[in-house]
Amino acid sequence: MKSILMISLHGYVAAQPELGKPDTGGQVVYVLELAERFSRLGRNVDLVTRQFEDQPEYDEVNENYNVWRIPFGGKKFIRKEDMHDHLKAFVTNTLAAIKKERKKYDIVYSHYWDAGWAGQKIAEELGISHVHTPHSLGWWKQHSMGSDMDEDKMEKTYRFKERIRKEYFVYQMCNYVIATTLPQVDLLTQQYDVLARNCGMIPPGIDENRFYPVPTKENDKIRQKYDIHPTDILALGRMAHNKGYDLLIKALPTVFELCPEARLVAAIGGDSKQDQQGVEKLLKLATDLGVADKIKWKNYIADEDLANVYRSANIFAMPSRYEPFGMVAIEAMACGTPSVVTVHGGLYDLIDFGNQALFADPHRPVEFGAMMSMPLLYPNLRNELSVEGARFARRNFGWTGIAKRILEIFKNSINQQTMESNIY
C-alpha cells in the first residue's frame, strides 16, 4: 500500500489552514495531521478537497503529500449542511482529474458524511477499498439537540433526514468505519446496522511537538504577553450551538460565588458575521446574568499562539451539548492545563475523574460551575490534574502512533478487497 487518496470537502482545507473560519476546526486539524504522518511513514498522499474563492489547485506540502483542490459548486463558500446539492459534481470532476493526471491509488480514506458519500462512489469507480471516519454522526447530533430548536427549523438548517440516509449508505458500503470514540461505535452498530467487524475506534491525536507543559516562570511571561491571569478559565473553539458556550456562561455565577478572583477568557469564533452575531447573543446573556464584566473576549487565536494560550489559563472548559471527541481539551491537557469536560461526548468515557481531568453536565450550571471552581480552590488538585492530564494526553494521542494504527486497517481492508475480487 503506497498511495492514499484522502477526501475532506468542507471548510478551508490547506497546508496552513485558516482555523476558526466556518466549518474549519478540529476535523481539518485531524485530516492534515494524519496526511503528514502518512507521508512521513513513506506513503504518497493526495488530500482532495473543494476549490473555491481564489484558492490554488495545489498546496505542495512535501514530496509525498499534496493538498489537491477540485472545483465544484461555484466560487462561494458552501456550508457542510448544504454539500448534498453538489456531491455528484465533485465525484465527476474528481474522477476526470484522476484520469487526466494518470494517478493511481490503493485506498480511499474519507472524512465526514459529505466526503464519505463521494468517496464511496469514487472507490467503486476505481475498484479500490474505502475506509471512512465520520467525525460526528447525524443521528447523535439530531437527538443531542433535543428540544433546543423547533423541529422544522432544525430540519431546514441541518437536513438531518438526508444526511442520515447518506451516512447509512456510506457505513454499509465502505470497507471499514473508523470511529473516534467508543459511543460512536455503539451508535454505528445500533442505529446504522454496521457489522461489528466492520467498525472500530481509534482516537484523534495531538502534535506532541507543539502541545507540552512549560515551567511556571516561563508561563508567567506567557500570561503577560496574552493578558491572561493565573486564575482565568479558558474556553476556546468555533462558534456553534452544540459547543454550549451559553451553558458555560450560565455556570459562571457559581464560579464567581466560590472564586471571586476568577475570570472567563472566551476565545470563541472568528470574524464572520454569523460568529459576531453569536458572540453578541452570549454577551447579552452574560449581561443579563450580571457576569459580563468578568469575561474577557478574544477573537480568533492564531495557530502559532494556540499552545501558549492553552498554557496560560488555570483551567480549560469544554461545555459542549455534545462533542464527538473534544480535541481542544486533549490539546489543553497536553499543555498541562487542567480540563473540565462535558459528559456528553467521547472523551468523558476515557478519563479517570479527579486524576486526569474533571467532568460535569453543562446542562446543570451549578454542577459545571462547581467543577470549574475545584482547581482554583485546591492548588494540589490542580497540580495533580496538570501532570496526570499531560501524561494521559501525550501517551494516548500522539499522531504518529495513531497513523500507524490506521495504516494497519488500510492494509487489512486492501487484503480483504483483494480476496473478494479473486472470488468473483
C-alpha cell at 22: 466556518
Per-residue pLDDT tens over the stretch 134-167 = 999 999 888 887 666 678 888 888 899 999 999 9
Q: Determine contact, residues 341/227, Cβ cutoff 8 Å.
A: no
Strand partners, 129: 107
Give all domains of the chain, ordered by start, each with its CATH number: 3-205+399-423 (3.40.50.2000), 216-396 (3.40.50.2000)
C-alpha cell at 175: 470497507
Which residues lie below 8 Å from residue 187, measured CB to CB, with a gap of 6+? Answer: 137, 139, 140
Give the whole-angstrom CA distance, residue 210 versus residue 206: 8
Per-residue pLDDT tens over the stretch 363-389 = 999 999 999 999 999 999 999 999 999
pLDDT of 424: 61
Judge if pTM exceeds 0.85: no
Give the whole-angstrom CA distance, residue 3 versus residue 106: 5
C-alpha cell at 159: 437536513
pLDDT of 401: 86
Three-state DSSP state, 122: helix
C-alpha cell at 13: 482545507
pLDDT in tens, the chain (424 residues): 799 999 999 999 999 998 889 999 889 999 999 999 999 999 999 999 999 999 999 999 999 999 999 999 999 999 999 999 999 999 999 999 999 999 999 999 999 999 999 999 999 999 999 999 999 999 988 888 766 667 888 888 889 999 999 999 999 999 999 998 888 999 999 999 999 999 999 988 888 889 999 999 999 999 999 999 999 999 998 888 889 999 999 999 999 999 999 999 999 987 788 888 999 999 999 999 999 999 999 977 888 999 999 999 999 999 999 887 788 999 999 999 999 999 998 788 889 999 999 999 999 999 999 999 999 999 999 999 999 999 999 888 889 889 999 999 999 999 988 877 776 6
Give the whole-angstrom CA distance, residue 191 versus residue 393: 30
- List for the chain the helix, strand, coil content (%; round to 5): 55, 20, 30
Strand order across the 358-360 sheet: 295-298, 263-268, 232-237, 315-318, 339-342, 358-360
C-alpha cell at 125: 469507480
Q: Where are the alpha helices (DSSP H) in 176-272?
A: 182-191, 216-226, 245-258
Residues in the chain: 424
CA angle, 8 then 204 then 337, to 5°: 125
Please tell me the number of Cα atoms within 13 Å of 116 on its side-chain side. Answer: 27
